[in-house]
């Protein structure tokens, strides 16, 4: 397995985690905005 292919594989594996963190971050931001709104 070449270095380039290995790097690409690592990127593919990390991508879902990145998207998940992004999604969770958005959910938290929305939740904070709503709780501020209702306070």
d(CA 32, CA 39): 10
pLDDT in tens, 18-29: 999 999 999 999
Cα–Cα distances in angstroms (integers) from residue 2 to residues 6, 8, 12, in the given order: 6, 10, 16
Using one digit for the tens of pLDDT, what is the confidence trace for 4-13? 888 898 888 8
Residues contacting residue 38 through CB under 8 Å, at least 6 positions apart: none
What whole-number distance in Å separates Cα of residue 2 and Cα of residue 23?
A: 32
In the structure, what pLDDT confidence band is assigned to residue 2 with cuts at 50, 70 and 90? Answer: confident
The band of 17, judged by pLDDT with boundaries at 50, 70 and 90, is very high
């Amino acid at each position: 397995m070449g270095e380039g292919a290995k790097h690409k594989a690592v990127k593919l594996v990390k991508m879902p985690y990145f998207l998940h963190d992004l999604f969770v971050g958005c959910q938290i931001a929305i939740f904070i905005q709503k709780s501020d709104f209702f306070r």
